[in-house]
């Protein structure tokens, strides 16, 4: 459970850093690209082993890390488009609701438990995510022509979590968890640099040192969010269909409280109802196996 808590805390710190990006006018795309290299460096410090590229390329999980690296960049870009066209609340809901995909994956492929308490807890978690994420009284409004973007964010985020679970279970040795996590970030960073080069060729690239600083700040918690999540998935007695909803709903809950404490964000009554449902869903999901 400690690894899951550390993953949640790391992801919640990422939320705070993104909010600070807005305040200090940091280019989010550039900071995220730089962050991948610092996340990779953090992984190498944790791994404490000399890098052998030939070993990495020959690993059974390497193709999967390439796919994940590409998905990291793609989902971020789609999330940015969705924010511009439909608002931040839509992105938050699409990202967190995607937990349904890895949960179904774990239940179907790995025959994980499906007691009614657990199912009810997961449904409650999805409702909690929605209510907590919507910061406007009128709720979510999406134009039909823009519906494709949150749908792609939903499926992209779900595919990332599902692929992590599949690779962790099938191919990643315990000693390679840090190397596996670092490789994902290295590939995402390389793809990101290619994007910056393309922007430079087009003449639309403007580099600023503060974006590098933003990348440093983001890199360590970003690595932690993936590294500790993978370790949580490896915890004996903890099923992925339990871990993913607990992870997502806890991130939403803690991020909301940090928003109130640090940024004086205002809460609607339905947001508080969402928090209460989040607490209830965590209790139900975490204790579901005791009721079976």
What is the tens place of the pLDDT at every residue in 56-79? 889 999 999 999 999 998 998 888
Structure pTM?
0.88
CB contact set of 162 (below 8 Å; sequence gap of 6+): 101, 102, 105
Confidence of residue 290 (pLDDT cuts 50, 70, 90): low
Q: What is the CA angle 37-39-41, rounded to 5?
A: 70
**Among the listed ranges 47-56, 63-72, 89-98, 193-202, which one has the minimum average pLDDT value?**
47-56
Per-residue pLDDT, 162: 94
Q: What is the pLDDT of residues 166-178, one digit of tens each?
A: 999 899 988 889 9
SS3 147: coil
**Among the listed ranges 50-54, 145-149, 206-210, which one has the minimum average pLDDT value?**
50-54
Q: What is the pLDDT of residues 203-226, one digit of tens each?
A: 888 889 999 999 999 999 999 999
pLDDT of 189 higher than 90: yes
Question: What φ, ψ does residue 223 adopt, rounded to 5°?
Answer: -60, -45
Per-residue pLDDT, 49: 75
Q: What is the pLDDT of residues 231-262, one digit of tens each?
A: 999 888 788 989 999 998 999 889 888 888 88
């Amino acid at each position: 459970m400690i690894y899951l808590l550390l993953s949640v805390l790391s992801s919640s710190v990422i939320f705070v850093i993104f909010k600070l990006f807005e305040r200090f006018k940091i280019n989010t795309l550039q900071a995220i690209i730089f962050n991948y290299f610092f996340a990779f460096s953090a992984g190498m410090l944790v791994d404490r082993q000399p890098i052998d590229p030939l070993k990495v390329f020959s690993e059974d999980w390497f193709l999967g890390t390439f796919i994940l690296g590409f998905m990291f960049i793609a989902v971020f870009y789609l999330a940015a488009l969705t924010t511009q066209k439909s608002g931040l609340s839509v992105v938050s809901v699409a990202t967190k609701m995607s937990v349904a995909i890895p949960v179904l994956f774990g239940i179907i492929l790995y025959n994980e438990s499906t007691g009614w308490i657990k199912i009810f807890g997961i449904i409650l978690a999805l409702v909690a995510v929605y209510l907590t994420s919507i910061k406007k009284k009128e709720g979510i409004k999406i134009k039909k022509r823009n519906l494709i973007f949150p749908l792609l964010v939903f499926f992209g985020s779900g595919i990332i979590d599902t692929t992590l679970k599949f690779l962790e279970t099938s191919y990643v040795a315990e000693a390679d968890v840090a190397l596996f996590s670092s490789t994902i970030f290295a590939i995402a960073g390389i793809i990101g640099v290619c994007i910056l080069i393309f922007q430079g060729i087009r003449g639309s690239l403007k580099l600023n040192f503060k974006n590098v600083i933003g990348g440093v700040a983001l890199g360590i918690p970003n690595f932690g969010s993936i590294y500790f999540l993978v370790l949580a998935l490896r915890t004996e007695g903890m099923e992925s269909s339990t871990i993913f909803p607990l992870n997502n709903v806890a991130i939403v809950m803690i991020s909301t409280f940090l928003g109130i404490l640090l940024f004086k964000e205002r809460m609607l009554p339905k947001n508080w109802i969402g928090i209460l449902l989040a607490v209830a869903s965590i209790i139900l999901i975490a204790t579901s196996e005791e009721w079976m």
